[in-house]
Amino acid sequence: MRSNALYRVNRVASFVIFSMAILWITVGYLAAPVLFAELPSKLAGEVAGKLFEFSSLIMQVTLIMLLGVYIGMEQSIRSIKTLVVALLFVCVLRFWIAPWMAEIKAAYPSGLTRASTDWAAFSTLHGIYQLLFLIVILLLLFWSIKKNGESRCQESKRESDQDKKTL
């Protein structure tokens, strides 16, 4: 019975994590480029920053809830380590890199430009943010696909066991 509950949790978790990855892909690789193409740079950065902040909050809460479910089901850390690493990176983005970038931007009320003194620091932080952002997406997609595959294997095994019982 416990494996049946784990099967259902894995199916739902796989879908939820896949959806979170799609959310981040949408914000980072669809919405943000459109904002910068259509709006003045300063305004686009402010709106994109809010989108990243909100989507990161959703991601953090979702990961904490899923980790709580798996820990409550007494799953080994090995089975959820990808989610733990993803949560760690989300926290680094939310609580360290994003505030640091916002602090640099706040020092330039008319907007940060390439000629600004802090441009190199900001662009370095931005690059680190983008890299960690992509790594989180890849971790989530990997975990989701892996859990979905495990669920399919469990489903096939269960169907096979039922077929043996009917014979």
Interval 6-34: pLDDT, tens = 888 888 999 999 999 999 999 999 999 99
Mean predicted confidence (pLDDT) in 41-45: 92
DSSP codes of every residue in the chain: -HHHHHHHHHHHHHHHHHHHHHHHHHIIIIIHHHHHHHS-HHHHHHHHHHHHHHHHHHHHHHHHHHHHHHHHTT--HHHHHHHHHHHHHHHHIIIIIHHHHHHHHHT-TT---TTSTTHHHHHHHHHHHHHHHHHHHHHHHHHHHHHHHHHHHHHHHHHHHHHHHH-
Average of per-residue pLDDT values in the chain = 90
Interval 59-112: pLDDT, tens = 999 999 999 998 888 887 788 899 999 999 999 999 999 999 999 999 998 888
| Domain limits for position 100 | 2-166
How many structural domains are present in the chain?
1
Q: What is the pLDDT, as a whole number, of residue 103?
A: 96
Burial class, 97, CB count within 10 angstroms (exposed 0-12 / middle 13-18 / buried 19+):
middle
Q: What is the pLDDT, as a whole number, of residue 98?
A: 96
Q: pTM of the prediction?
A: 0.87
